[in-house]
Amino acid sequence: MAENTTDSLMVVSAHAGDFVWRAGGAIALSAARGERVTVVCLSYGERGESAKAWREGKQLAEIKELRRTEAAAAADVLGADIRFLDAGDYPLPESPELIDRLVTVYRETAPTVVLTHTLVDPYNGDHPAAARMALQARILAQAVGYDALGEPLGAPPVFSFEPHQSEMSEFRPDVLLDITEVFEIKRQAMRCLDAQEHMWIYYEDLAARRGVQLERNAGPNLGLLRNSRAEAFVRHYPHVTAKLS
């Protein structure tokens, strides 16, 4: 497929695995269209999402390396560049410095779509922290007066990807993205994350359930679709469009 030279997807992920479970389909679709895709992992999830490794007696440095390797492999399968900011997790500390590093990525990659966590997640404080920083950095990056390299950013649309316990996180899907054609790629990427095997099934089931809902909301196409797989997103800003659909 020819490269798409203008569209650019940026994904801000609190931990090394989040982008795979929650946005792997969106990433694969974007990459398949030849777009630039950049995943920013703020931490490796070394403390909060690596229980298995800790129980096996592994040490911090080892666990970080492990998670990094897995995440890099998953990003490779999906077709994305990946950057690790190694800011620490549990808690993921919010700081002007970390936000500034995100501004730099915004200015460099000039995303036309941004994906990140929800602003509410009562099961994981790092997720909202990541979302707050991603949103704040996006605003700063738009200001010509903000002191960072690169051109001021346009105002790209932002979407929250789906948290682990949707209803408790005030996640009411605004968008159902059809990922049927790239679902095998997402499945393969999830398989790169050995540390969280129990998640594989969970997110395969979720994709099927969101697929059923996609079919039920697909309007005139209802009845034509079969075995759809979908990811759900919540939109942060109004959708600018020339055609209602």
Q: In the window 67-86, what residues touch a copy of itself (CB under 8 A)?
A: none
As measured in angstroms, the least distance from the Cβ of 33 to a copy of itself is 8
Chain-centroid distance of CA 50 in Å reads: 19
Task: Rule CB under 8 A: say whether 185 interacts with a copy of itself.
Answer: no
Stretch 15-34 residues interacting with a copy of itself (CB under 8 A): 26, 29-30, 33
The candidate with the shortest Cα–Cα distance to 103, out of 137, 145, 153, 150, is: 137
- Part of the chain binding a copy of itself (CB under 8 A), chosen from 11-19, 78-86, 133-141, 187-195: 133-141
Task: Rule CB under 8 A: say whether 112 interacts with a copy of itself.
Answer: yes
How far is CA 49 from each of CA 11, 79, 96, 128, 232, rounded to the nearest angstrom?
19, 24, 25, 16, 22
How far is CA 228 from each of CA 78, 181, 207, 236, rounded to the nearest angstrom?
19, 9, 8, 25
Task: Rule CB under 8 A: say whether 57 interacts with a copy of itself.
Answer: no
Task: Rule CB under 8 A: say whether 226 interacts with a copy of itself.
Answer: no
The candidate with the shortest Cα–Cα distance to 132, out of 164, 98, 175, is: 98
As measured in angstroms, the least distance from the Cβ of 231 to a copy of itself is 10
Residue from 31, 99, 190, 193 binding a copy of itself (CB under 8 A): 99
DSSP state of 5: S
